[in-house]
């Protein structure tokens, strides 16, 4: 049976393509056959199981307050479950009854049990940037850890990031920007500090390429392709990749590492991971509490030494398979379908 979705179809247009609820994008623009066997958009709310806000919550609210209010009102009048998508680095916590929120990140201790974390939906790197097929790396005595990305220390960088934070705070306070409040977190400075400590440990093989700006400040399609190739080759060549949150409390690199079939080293800054009701994330990556007094390098060595050769390779295979079968867009929303099948009764 199909899960029937009701939404404001006037927003399912090219104009709002980049803002669409990801599932609606797959149904409307991609016409994803697997998902269309499980979900159907209907024009009668009485027959619908779920009401879906068509575009990003903040955009919907600010673009057409009337349409936003009408859809929420009719959903409540018919006692329907509501799904909303909140985009951006910060995301926005809603308090509308019977609403489930899909978002990229947020702080686990502050999110309710009706909040689902969306994986970063990326293309398969083996189809785009890696010519070789997937195969797990053999375990070496010295673990190898890689990183390519934005990481820079120094007072000027710290001040620049703080100014960007103040800009966000001003917009949230005085321009009514719908985004959750959060404390200042100088992510690139933090990354540089962690990576410096890891690089100093001679029992680790490190392969770090540190950028002063996101994507090295390169904007052309050709240069972005080149930097992406370097990025993914670094993940492929190293068993472990260091993953720390950015402006928002999530890491896209985390999902990119899983897609390649390698092992993320995650600094847990009160993160919530996707489908945590089903996935035991400690079986797929090294998760280090941000308050740990032990050096990150020591965590890596202890974790690496705790794995047998077979376990080490099996984890890489498991990570690749999990991305293929659970974390890409199609697979993720098939998992969500399984969770909400009770609505069909």
50 plus 194 within the same structural domain: no
Give the model's pLDDT for residue 272.
Answer: 97
Give the model's pLDDT for residue 334.
Answer: 96
- Residue 115: inside a domain, yes or no? yes
- Residue 163: inside a domain, yes or no? no
Residue 84's nearest CA partner among 112, 107, 109, 110 is 112
**Contact assessment for residue 4 and residue 78, using Cβ atoms and an 8 Å cutoff:** no
Give the model's pLDDT for residue 212.
Answer: 77
- Beta-bridged to residue 116, according to DSSP, are 102
99: domain CATH number is: 3.40.50
Q: What gap in Å lies between CA 256 and CA 146, rounded to an integer?
A: 13
198 plus 231 within the same structural domain: yes
Give the model's pLDDT for residue 225.
Answer: 85
322 plus 334 within the same structural domain: no
235 plus 286 within the same structural domain: yes
Residue ranges of the alpha helices (H) in the chain?
Answer: 22-25, 33-36, 57-63, 65-77, 125-128, 155-174, 187-199, 221-237, 252-260, 296-306, 309-322, 329-340
Q: Residue 99's domain spans which residues?
A: 3-119+329-344
56 plus 38 within the same structural domain: yes
Could you state, in chain order, the average pLDDT of each consecutive group of 10 residues for the chain (345 residues)? 95 96 97 96 96 96 94 95 95 91 96 96 94 96 96 94 94 88 95 97 96 60 81 98 97 98 98 95 97 97 98 98 96 95 70
Q: How many CB atoms lie within 10 A of CB 309?
A: 10
DSSP helix/strand/coil, 149: strand
230 plus 340 within the same structural domain: no
Give the model's pLDDT for residue 221.
Answer: 62
Q: Please, which residues have CB within 8 angstroms of residue 97's CB and are 6 or more apart in sequence?
A: 76
**Contact assessment for residue 153 and residue 140, using Cβ atoms and an 8 Å cutoff:** no
- Residue 175: inside a domain, yes or no? no
Q: Checking phi first, is residue 331 left (phi over 0); if not, alpha (psi -120 to 50) or beta?
A: alpha
- Residue 165: inside a domain, yes or no? no
Taking the CA of residue 284 as centre, how many other CA atoms within 13 Å lie in the half-sphere pointing to its CB? 23
101 plus 240 within the same structural domain: no
Give the model's pLDDT for residue 343.
Answer: 67
334 plus 322 within the same structural domain: no
Q: What gap in Å lies between CA 245 and CA 266, rounded to an integer?
A: 9
Q: Per the structure block, which two tokens stand in for 57?
A: 């919550």
94 plus 213 within the same structural domain: no
- Residue 173: inside a domain, yes or no? no
- Residue 277: inside a domain, yes or no? yes
Give the model's pLDDT for residue 241.
Answer: 98
145: domain CATH number is: 3.40.50.2000
Give the model's pLDDT for residue 279.
Answer: 95
Q: What gap in Å lies between CA 86 and CA 69, rounded to an integer?
A: 17
67 plus 10 within the same structural domain: yes
257 plus 276 within the same structural domain: yes
- Residue 166: inside a domain, yes or no? no
- Residue 135: inside a domain, yes or no? yes
Tally the domains of the chain: 2
- Rounded CA Rg of the chain: 21
236 plus 334 within the same structural domain: no
């Amino acid at each position: 049976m199909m899960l029937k979705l009701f939404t404001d179809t006037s927003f399912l247009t090219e104009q709002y393509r980049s803002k669409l609820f990801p599932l609606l994008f797959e149904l409307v623009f991609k016409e994803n056959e697997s998902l269309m066997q499980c979900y159907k958009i209907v024009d009668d709310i009485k027959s619908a199981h779920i009401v879906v806000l068509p575009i990003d919550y903040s955009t919907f609210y600010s673009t057409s307050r009337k349409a936003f209010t009408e859809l929420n009102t009719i959903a409540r009048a018919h006692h329907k479950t509501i799904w909303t998508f909140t985009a951006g680095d910060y995301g926005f916590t809603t308090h509308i009854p019977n609403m489930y929120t899909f978002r990229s990140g947020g702080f686990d201790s502050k999110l309710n049990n009706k909040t689902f974390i969306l994986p970063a939906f990326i293309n398969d790197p083996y189809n785009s940037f890696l010519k070789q097929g997937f195969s797990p790396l053999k375990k070496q005595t010295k673990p190898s850890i890689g990183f390519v990305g934005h990481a820079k220390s120094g007072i000027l960088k710290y001040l620049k990031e703080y100014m960007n934070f103040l800009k966000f705070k001003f917009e949230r306070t005085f321009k009514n920007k719908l985004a959750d409040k959060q404390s200042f977190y100088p992510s690139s400075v933090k990354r540089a500090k962690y990576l410096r400590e890891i690089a100093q440990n001679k029992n680790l093989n490190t392969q770090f390429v540190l950028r002063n700006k996101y994507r090295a400040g390169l904007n052309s399609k050709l240069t972005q392709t080149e930097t992406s190739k370097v990025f993914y080759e670094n993940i492929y060549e190293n068993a472990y990749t260091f993953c720390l949150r950015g402006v928002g409390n999530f890491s896209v690199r985390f999902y990119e590492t899983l897609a390649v079939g390698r092992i993320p080293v995650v600094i847990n800054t009160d993160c919530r991971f996707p489908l945590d009701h089903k996935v035991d994330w400690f079986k797929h990556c090294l998760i280090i509490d941000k308050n740990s007094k032990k050096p990150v390098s020591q965590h890596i060595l202890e974790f690496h030494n705790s794995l047998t050769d077979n376990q080490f390779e099996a984890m890489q295979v498991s990570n690749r398979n999990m991305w293929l079968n659970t974390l890409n867009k199609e697979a993720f929303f098939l998992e969500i379908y399984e969770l909400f099948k009770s609505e069909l009764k």
